[in-house]
Amino acid sequence: MNVLGIESSCDETAAAVVRPDGEVISDVIASQIAEHAPYGGVVPELASRAHLRAILPVIEEAVAELPRGLDDIDAVAVTNGPGLVGALLVGLSAAKAIAWSRGLPIVGVNHLDGHLLAVYLRRGDDDPPPPPMPYVALLASGGHTALYEVRSEEEILLLGQTRDDAAGEAFDKAAKLLGLGYPGGPVIDRLAREGDGLAFDFPRPMAKKGNIDFSFSGLKTAVAYHVKAHGVPEDDAALADVCASFQHAIVESLVTKALAACEMTGVRHLVLTGGVAANSGLRQHARDAAVKVGVTVHVPPFASCTDNAAMIAYAGARRLARGERDGLDIAPFSRAPGRKRGKIRDR
C-alpha cells in the first residue's frame, strides 16, 4: 500500500508517499522561510497564500517517484490539526479532492501524532533502531512543547506541557532580540557551539522537583532585560556566550523534565521529536544525562524531526491498518481540546 501524506499545518507545504511499515518512498517540502523572515515569525495569511501556490507542485513531485504517479496511491492521509486553520484548509482541500476524484480512503491525522510516531520512519539503511513501546516522548517545536507517554499507537498520555511559549518560539524570539534573523533556532545552535553555556545565569523556570510542565516566557524576558542593559553584543565571543547560556537554560529544562517523566512513569526509553530535536545541544545533553540514569535516548534523523508529510503518511497508514476511515467532512482544528493532562486522547 502507498499512502500519500499531506501536511500544511503551519509554514511548510509538504507531501510524501510512505508504506505502512514506515518506508519513505518520497518526502517533499516547500519551505516558507523567505516569506516570513522579514517579520521575524509566521504570518498566518501569508502562510495560507504560500500553501496555495505550492500545494499542487509539491504533491506532483512526491507522487512522481511512483511508476504511475497518483494511479499508484492507495489512500490519502492529511493533517487536520492542530495548526493555523487557513493553512490547514489548503492541505485538507487538496487531500479531499484527490480522495473524492479517485475513490480513495482518507484519514485525518493529528499533527502531534505524526511527530510522536516519526521515530518509526525508515529513510535508509543507516536508520537507528526504533524504540519499543511504551516510551516517553519529548515533543519540542515552534508551536508545541510537551511530554507524552506513548503506550501504543492508540493510547497516548499527556504528562506535561508548556504553560506559555513553546521552546522553538523562545529560540525565535531570543534570536530576534539579538538581531540574528528568522528562524532563530539553527543560528543560536551554531553560535552556541563556540560559547560558554555558563557565562550568564539565565533562569530555569518551573525548576521545582516533581513538576514536569515547562515555561519559557521568563527566560525570553531575561534575555530582553540583558539586551536592554548591555545591548546586543558586538563581539563575536560575547554573542556566542549569550547564545550558549540561553540555549543551555532551555536544554537543561527540557532534559531534566524529560528524564523526570521517565522516572515518574518507569519507562526507560526517551524519544526526542519536533523541530527543536534537531538542536545539537539538546541531542548531546540528553544522551549524556540519560546514560547516567539508565535511559536510552532515541532521536529520529533531522528530516523526521521538523514538520514533514512522511510522518503524517505513516500515522495515517497506521490508522488505516487498524481499519479506521474518515469521511470527506473532515474539519480542521487549531487546538486539540480532547488531549488534556492525565487523560487518554479521545480517538
- What DSSP element (H or E) covers 105? none
C-alpha 79/C-alpha 92 separation (Å) is 7
What is the CATH number for 111? Answer: 3.30.420.40
C-alpha 185/C-alpha 154 separation (Å) is 32
347 pLDDT above the threshold of 70: no
**Average pLDDT, stretch 73-91?**
97
C-alpha 307/C-alpha 293 separation (Å) is 30
In this structure, which amino acid lies at residue 105? Answer: P
pLDDT digits (tens, 9 = 90+) for 156-204: 999 999 999 999 999 999 999 999 999 999 999 999 999 999 999 999 8
**Average pLDDT, stretch 272-279?**
95
343 pLDDT above the threshold of 60: no
Note whether 193 and 269 are same-domain residues. yes
**pLDDT of amino acid 206:** 81
Note whether 189 and 258 are same-domain residues. yes
343 vs 290, more confident: 290
Note whether 235 and 280 are same-domain residues. yes
Note whether 54 and 194 are same-domain residues. no
Strands 106-110 and 296-298: unpaired
C-alpha 53/C-alpha 37 separation (Å) is 18
User: Which residues, in sequence order, are bridge partners of residue 148?
Assistant: 137, 158
**Are 80 and 108 a contacting pair, CB within 8 Å?**
yes
Note whether 146 and 21 are same-domain residues. no
Cα angle vertex 310, ends 307, 313, to 5°? 115
344 pLDDT above the threshold of 60: no
Residue 125: inside a domain: no
Residue 205: inside a domain: yes
CB atoms within 10 A of CB 210: 7
Note whether 85 and 53 are same-domain residues. yes
CA-CA-CA-CA torsion sign (341, 6, 83, 169): positive
pLDDT digits (tens, 9 = 90+) for 116-156: 999 999 998 778 889 999 999 999 998 899 999 999 999 99
Residue 340 binned pLDDT confidence (cut-offs 50, 70, 90): low
pLDDT digits (tens, 9 = 90+) for 234-250: 999 999 999 999 999 99
Q: What's the domain count of the chain? A: 2
CB atoms within 10 A of CB 325: 10
Residue 215 binned pLDDT confidence (cut-offs 50, 70, 90): very high
**Are 15 and 59 a contacting pair, CB within 8 Å?**
yes
Q: What are phi and psi of 60, to 5 degrees?
A: -60, -40
278 pLDDT above the threshold of 90: yes
**What percent of the chain is modeled with pLDDT above 70?**
97
**pLDDT of amino acid 268:** 97
C-alpha 18/C-alpha 1 separation (Å) is 8
**pLDDT of amino acid 127:** 83
Residue 126: inside a domain: no
The mean pLDDT value of the chain amounts to: 93
* DSSP code, position 10: S
217 pLDDT above the threshold of 70: yes
pLDDT digits (tens, 9 = 90+) for 46-67: 999 999 999 999 999 999 999 9
The range of the structural domain enclosing residue 109 comes to 3-119+305-321
**pLDDT of amino acid 205:** 81
Residue 233: inside a domain: yes
**pLDDT of amino acid 338:** 59
